[in-house]
Amino acid sequence: MLRRLYAWILALSDRPSAPYALGAVAFAESSFFPVPPDAMLVPMAVARPDRVWLYATITTVASVIGGLVGYAIGALLFDSLGEWLIRLYGLQNSAATFQDSYARYGHWVILLKGLTPIPYKLVTITSGFAHYSLFWFTVLSIVTRGARFFILAGLLGRYGVQIRAVLDRHLNAVAAISVAVIVLGFLLFKVIL
């Protein structure tokens, strides 16, 4: 099944709808979807290295826009939808601690957490709930998400052929490591905060 999904994403790269699909995943991940856009960005970029910078731009813009939706969920809907998402991920206690950390660390929370495997939707929703400055949230989201996806694009542009060879031969191992990193991100979020 994983091989079919990988093959589908590679084939999707040649379709005109590829940027829209990537944008939709990046948008959704920043507000409610558990799968990071890297799962689509990497295969699409190795299949179409000529589009790696376009894909990084789309992923960044869509992620920031999705982050604004996550912010709105935290600011306007935390009592219903926001709390439900936090409970869904089992992070009720961590979210309150995370909100408190804004008083001391503000900018650094968004900058650092936007680069880590900690799910970005937790940052966006909690930023809204903490009523963190929308202006600074947006600026810092552009910086941190842009850095994450453009650094990845640079690596994919430079080492894409080798990365694709590894994915083609060891897809299951790469997927297992990726899932482990995501789970570790959730655990770190709960332990650190």
What is the residue range of 84's domain? Answer: 20-192
In a domain, 11, yes or no: no
Q: Give the distance from CA 125 to its chain's centroid.
A: 13
Q: Does the pLDDT of residue 90 top 70, yes or no?
A: no
In a domain, 4, yes or no: no
In a domain, 14, yes or no: no
pLDDT at 162: 79
pLDDT tens track for 43-80: 888 888 889 999 999 999 999 999 999 999 888 887 77
Query: Does residue 141 or residue 86 have the better pLDDT?
Result: 141
Q: Predicted confidence band at 180 (pLDDT cuts at 50, 70, 90)? A: confident
pLDDT at 7: 64
Number of domains in the chain: 1
pLDDT tens track for 9-29: 767 777 888 899 889 888 988
In a domain, 103, yes or no: yes
In a domain, 100, yes or no: yes
Closest CA to 122 of 58, 60, 182: 182
> What whole-number distance in Å separates Cα of residue 88 and Cα of residue 96?
15
In a domain, 1, yes or no: no
The DSSP code for 80 is I
Whether the CB-CB separation of 95 and 89 falls below 8 Å is answered with: no
> What whole-number distance in Å separates Cα of residue 112 and Cα of residue 98?
13
pLDDT tens track for 121-178: 888 888 888 888 999 999 999 999 999 999 989 988 888 777 777 777 776 776 677 6
The DSSP code for 36 is -
In a domain, 83, yes or no: yes
In a domain, 3, yes or no: no
Query: Residue 129 corresponds to which amino acid?
Result: F
Q: What angle do CA 20, 27, 109 make, to 5 degrees?
A: 150
> What whole-number distance in Å separates Cα of residue 153 and Cα of residue 46?
10
pTM reported for the whole predicted model: 0.78
Whether the CB-CB separation of 89 and 120 falls below 8 Å is answered with: no
pLDDT at 74: 85
